[in-house]
Structure 1
Amino acid sequence: MATIKDVAKLAGVSTSTVSHVLNETRFVSEQISERVRTAVNTLNYRPSSIARSLKVNRTNTLGMLVSTSKNPFFAEVVHNVERRCYERGYTLFLCNTDGDAHRMRANLDALEEKRVDGLLLLCSEASNEVLRLLEEERSTPVVIFDWGSDSEHVDRIYDNSLYGGYLATRHLIDMGHTRIGCVTGPIERRSARERVQGFHKAMDEAGLPVSPEWIIEGDYDCAGGVAAMARLHALPHRPDALFVCNDMMALGVFAEAARLGVRVPDDLSVIGYDDIYIARYMTPPLTTIHQPKGTIAAMAVDTLIDRLGSKREEGKAILIEPGLIERASVRRIA
């Protein structure tokens, strides 16, 4: 493999001149620059990214930790993060935590050894112990997606879940529904709590009663939707509309409803949350609350890169607003 010394020898110049031509750090005459470029092409020389990163103390790489999840929402966010990194001239190293704090620590060590400039965390299962680890033991800037308690040192990007839950329930009410249930996410999760708060806010504003047996805690996965639908169907009095706090559980509700002979939306209106890619292809297409995954990803990457440039130490929170996507899974009651 050719070195910068080989290029300098072939071009008949010093190694510092080669460096100035390649990095455009000093004026070099066009004649000499052309000789250097010709030598580079002849020798197929590639500058050492390691050497450059040591010199400028920047690797132009970011690390991302993602918890294991079958939810396509995660994959869509990661896709958008990688695309934004490419647009900003950064390479992304992706690690899967498998929902394990010990594995997260091992991945953090590996990314630190690679000298990544910053970290992005999409790890809802992680505990506050991990947040302490990031704050107290590491100096790498961090942006967290929709997880963790507020912190003075890390940046957070998250959706306005309370408003999203309100928007979903308000839509069911506006379509004429009064008997409305809710399948929540794991209640220890911030997003799940806030979406339920939005549900209650809309119901209270409309003066509608909330039946406790129609509020069922799920797991943000298809199985949770299946179990919730089975429990609701076994009740003597059932809701005629359901706010399901993410699209994966809504998919489970659809599957179990079909097995039980419950027609969506004729017998039961359903609205989801996230607007994952497959939501539009469900039968019927799912009305849902859209999370702008491209915007969330771009804001996370841009916030992290901008922090690297500004050397800002204090953390900040960026709230992304969700929106309603109307499809065919909610019927209007005359």
Structure 2
Amino acid sequence: MATIREVSKLANVSVATVSRVVNGNKWVSDTTREKVLAAMGELGYQPNSFARSLATNKSETIGMVIGDLSGPFFGGMMNSAENAVRKAGKHLIVTSGHDTIESELGAIDFLLQRRVDGLILHLDVLPDEDIIRLSDNSHVPIVLVNRHISELSDHCISVDNDTGGYLATQHLIDLGHTSIACITGPLYKKDARNRLAGYRRAIEQANLTYDDNLVVESDYTEQGGKTSIERLARRKLNYSAVFAHNDHMAIGAMNMLKKQGKSLPDECSIVGYDDMVMARYVEPALTTITIPVNEFGTQSAHLALKLGGEEMDDITYKFEPKLTIRRSTCRRT
């Protein structure tokens, strides 16, 4: 394996000059840089990445913490973030927070110990005040994705989940539904609380009665959607529509309603949230709230790079959800 001294000898420059080229020092002429790079290429010289990171205080990596390494939601976000980071000549290191404070803090510490140049955090349980303190005390830029904290507005990439919940519920109200069940995500998560707030706002603006009995807290899984429909049946409630806080639960709810003998959407309309790929292929195709999950990844990566000193285009900090109407909803007869 070639050494830095062999490169300096072939390029007829000092070892210090080779080191400056390797570390991206701008105080090297273009002619000298080209000579050094040519010598490195000829000898197959590979600089030690750890030594380079110590010299430049840059690891050329961005760390990302997400809730779950599986599923289409996080898969799309990770993929788009990795593409954006790779285009900037860096690498993305991803780990999971596993929905506990201890695990989220452990994941962050794991990445900081690897000297990442920035952090992209999708956190569900770590309190706002702890995240603010982390941002204030961290030596690297921190970006929050799918979460907004007012004190860190210029570090957040988010979607208006309150509006998303409102749009889903208002669509059902516009179709004549007056008794609408709501299957929420875990209410310790801010996105679930905001979607529920949007649901309640639409109900009350339509002069309908908000009924806690029509609300079931669940877990964002398909099985959770099935179980929620069973729970509603045990409550012996009459409802003609369901708003589920994600598509997984919506599909689970659809399957259980069919098992109960319900015709969809004639006897029960369903609205989901996220617009994952499967939403258009289930039967009936799922009406849902579309959010730009892939753009979350791209924009959070761009913001992390920008906060780290890279020149990036304008950042989109907040996205508006949109209603995508398919065949799982119809006018109440």
Give the TM-score range, shorter chain. 0.7 to 0.9
Q: CA RMSD, aligned part only? A: 2.9
Q: CA deviation at 1:257?
A: 1.5
TM normalised by structure 1 equals 0.86
- More divergent stretch after superposition (323-332 vs 146-155): 146-155
Deviations 1:207-253 (A, max 9, x none): 33334322222222223211211122344442111111111211220
Alignment CA distance shift 1:128-1:194 (3 Å): closer
Contact 1:165 1:194 in 2 (8 A): yes
In structure 1, the partner of 2:330 is 331
Give the 3 Å change call, closer, same or farther, for CA 55–267 of structure 1 in structure 2: same
Whether contact under 8 Å (1:128, 1:148) holds in the other structure is: no
Structure 1 window deviating more from structure 2 (36-45 vs 88-97): it is: 36-45
Deviation at 1:118, TM superposition (A): 1.1
User: Could you tell me how far apart the structure 1 residues matched to 2:98 and 2:33 are?
Assistant: 50
Measure how far apart 1:320 and its partner are. 1.7
Q: Give 2:300's aligned residue.
A: 300
Q: Structure 1, residues 187-224: CA drift from partner, whole Å, max 9, x if none?
A: 23222222122112222232333343222222222232
Structure 1: how far apart are the matches of 2:70 and 2:42?
Answer: 48
**What is the rounded CA distance, in whole Å, between the counterparts of 2:228 and 2:82 in structure 1?**
35
Q: TM-score, normalised by structure 2?
A: 0.86
**In the alignment, structure 1 residue 134 sits paired with structure 2 residue 168:** no
2:168 is matched with 168
Contact preservation (8 Å) 1:71, 1:221: no
Deviations 1:13-44 (A, max 9, x none): 33345456665743354xx7776454323311
Structure-1 separation of matches of 2:46 and 2:71: 40
In structure 1, what is the equivalent of residue 105 of structure 2? Answer: 105
Aligned 8 A contact 2:169 2:202 in 1 = yes
1:2 and 2:2 equivalent?
Answer: yes
Question: How much has 1:289 moved relative to structure 2?
Answer: 0.4
Structure 1 residues 75 and 130: CA distance shift in structure 2, 3 A: farther
- In structure 2, C-alpha distance between the alignment counterparts of 1:211 and 1:21, rounded to whole Å: 67
Partners of 1:272 and 1:287 within 8 A in 2 = yes
Secondary structure (helix, strand or coil) at the match of 1:219 reads coil
Cα pair distance change 1:145/1:37, threshold 3 Å? closer
AA aligned to 1:44 is G
Structure 1 unmatched ranges of 5 or more: 311-315
Partner of 2:188: 188
Could you say what secondary structure the match of 2:317 adopts? Answer: strand
Call closer, same or farther: CA 1:153–1:328 in 2, change over 3 Å: closer
Q: Helix, strand or coil for the counterpart of 2:296?
A: helix
AA aligned to 1:288 is: T
Among 26, 29, 32, the alignment partner of 1:27 is 29
- Structure 1 residues 70 and 210, CA gap change in structure 2 (3 angstroms): farther
Equivalent residue number for residue 233 of structure 2: 233
**Could you say if the C-alpha distance between residues 81 and 35 of structure 1 is closer, same or farther in structure 2, counting changes exceeding 3 Å?**
closer
Count of aligned residue pairs for this structure pair: 327
Contact 1:20 1:27 in 2 (8 A): no
Post-superposition offset of 1:69: 6.6
Displacement of 1:157 = 2.1
Partner letter of residue 215 of structure 1?
Answer: V
**1:276 aligned onto 2:289:** no
SS in 2 for 1:182: strand
Bigger mean CA deviation after superposition, 46-55 or 185-194: 46-55
1:123 equivalenced with 2:123 (yes/no):
yes
* Residue 180 of structure 1: how far off its partner (Å): 1.7
